[in-house]
Amino acid sequence: MNTSELSIRASALAILASLAMAGCAVGPDFERPGTTTPPDIFERTQPAEAPSKTVEANFNSEWWTLFNDPLLNSLEAQLADANLDVAAASARLRQSRATQRVAGAAEYPTLEGAASYNRERGSPNGILSLLGVSPTGAQPQSASGAAPLGVAPLPGSKGSPAFDVYQFGFDASWEVDIWGRVRRGVEAATALTAASFEDRNAVLLSARAELARDYIELRDTQSLLEIARQNLDIARDSTKLTQVRVREGVTTDLDVANASAQVASIESLIPTLEARREGMINAIGLLLAQEPGALRQALGEPGDIPELPKQVPIGFASELLQRRPDIRRAEAQLHAATASIGMAKADFYPRITLNGSAGFQSLQLSNLANWASGQFVVGPSITLPIFEGGRLKGMLHLREAQQQEAAIVYRHTVLDAWREVDDALVTYGAEQRRHERLTEVVKLNQRALSIAQQRYKAGAVDYLNVLNVQKQLLEAQRNLEQSRATAAANLITLCKVLGGGWESTFASQQAER
């Protein structure tokens, strides 16, 4: 081969490489879906007397600190590193990143080294007969009449000679990505990695909200226990008073029976509440990967339900789509589905691969490293689909349908996000108004009980009046305490649907992504 031929072939390879670098990527390019912000969702007004108001201001990603509860803050600080669901989501993210690296490797050439030794003997009745080897074992002679180096018949054999073959070298190949099949694959893998990242963010956000809700429910249960015990003391005092009045002949045994029944009724509430308290402590422990009972000492001491903040910054409507992990995940999945269409379309076009190998081969080990033993093979290969039985069209239609589904899922996710935010804002304000009314109910029932007790002592009414008012007060107190817990839980839900709670935890990885 002369220099001119080598130059022409090198130029051809350079042209193929240039086409790969500058080639177009078939299939649609991803465009971020456009969405419009529904009007007035973030502008719902609340009564001026509302104890806690939502305001359009920069959203606090560490929203649990709004409750100003050091113990809750401490629990949330442990969550990201301890929670097993978050750890599993992190493992899935690492899998996605590994898959992305595998897909990206196709953009580069592959280079492999190989070495081998073989003892070979061909059939004299086969292709060797064309080279002058007879079935009787006669061998071609060199010019001096000697057998070629390394060639000798097997001991006791009358057939063709056996010989040693030593070789080592390198094999290389590279797919010339003219149609962008590899690039679309990398694009899809990158988008799926982004989806896994957002999935972990969503898992962390859900875990934070669940931890805060469990903590609120624990404090609610402890408060209900305290209310039950206070009412139990009142009921027992009333029973003693009734027994005294029976001895004095002022009232009858019926009042004693009613008072004792009230004591038993209140006592029956306590075991259920105690079991619920233990269950909530264990639920919090599970979120922090703790064994049952491990947090009993830390959380067993009764505490009040955290107060609502006077102002709740809810961010701005324009930020919601970029803050909610589920929307970002749906967008990434739509991106991956769009890129997959390009991969399916590229399969319709020829696939060009540059292959090459270079190394040394010798029949004598001592000659293996000589330049004279060198050999090489280089050249392109082209694969063109001619008949696939409809497989390629079927795959393309599948990818297009998957992309359409991903677009629908994205649209549904966005609409559902707006619905959740609107519902959360409404319920947060409504529960505060309900709490105000229940506060008045408790005050009125406390006053009614005081009057009923005074009139009973004066003999103006029987104990049934006192009993009815006490039952009403107990129910009102329970409703008020549960309303406080519901309002706090509604605030947690509001912060969750606003999408905050993951940014500061994985901020550095967000930048890397």
Please indicate, yes or no, if residue 52 is contained in any of the structural domains: yes
Residue 502 is given by DSSP the state S
Task: Give the whole-angstrom CA distance, residue 173 versus residue 189.
Answer: 22
Q: What is the C-alpha separation between 404 and 246, in angstroms, rounded?
A: 81
Structural domain including 74 reads: 20-109+179-348+393-512
CA 303 to chain centre: 33
Cα separation, 396 vs 24, whole angstroms:
18
| pLDDT score at 134 | 59
The reply to whether 161 falls in a domain is no
Tell me, yes or no, whether 40 lies in a domain.
yes
Residue in the block written with tokens 């080598």: 6
Q: Shortest CA distance to 97 belongs to which of 202, 192, 198, 185?
A: 192
Q: Tokens standing for 102?
A: 């595998």
Which pLDDT does position 461 carry in this prediction? 81
Count CA atoms closer than 13 A to 299's CA, side-chain side. Answer: 29
Residue type, 26: V
Domain membership of residue 155 (yes or no) is no
Residue 143 lies in a domain: no
Q: Which residues make Cβ contacts (< 8 Å) with residue 139, sequence separation at least 6?
A: 133, 147, 151, 153, 160, 161
Distance set, CA 442 to CA 90, 230, 455 (Å): 48, 15, 20
Q: Establish if 146 belongs to a structural domain.
A: no
Mapped onto helix, strand or coil, the DSSP state of residue 53 is strand
**Residue 158 lies inside a defined structural domain of this protein:** no
* Token couple for 57: 């201001």
Number of domains in the chain: 1
Residue 493 resides in a domain: yes
Contacts of 367 (CB under 8 A, 6+ apart): 373
pTM higher than 0.85, yes or no? no
Paired with 114 in beta bridges are 169
What pLDDT does residue 91 have?
Answer: 96
* CATH number, domain containing residue 187: 1.20.1600.10
Tokens linked to 164: 């040693």
Q: What is the pLDDT of residue 71?
A: 96
Give the amino acid at 129: S
Residue 184 structure tokens: 């679309």
pLDDT tens string for the chain (513 positions)? Answer: 455 554 545 545 555 455 545 457 898 999 988 766 666 777 666 666 678 888 888 888 899 999 999 999 999 999 999 999 999 999 999 999 999 999 999 899 999 999 898 988 877 777 666 666 555 555 555 555 555 545 555 454 555 678 888 898 999 999 998 999 999 999 999 999 999 999 999 999 999 999 999 999 999 999 999 989 988 998 898 888 888 888 888 778 888 898 899 899 989 999 999 999 999 999 999 999 999 999 999 998 998 999 999 999 988 888 888 889 999 999 999 999 999 999 999 999 999 999 999 888 888 888 888 888 888 898 899 999 998 899 999 999 999 999 999 999 999 999 999 999 999 999 999 999 999 999 999 999 999 999 988 888 888 887 778 888 888 998 899 999 999 999 999 999 999 999 977 777 765 555 445
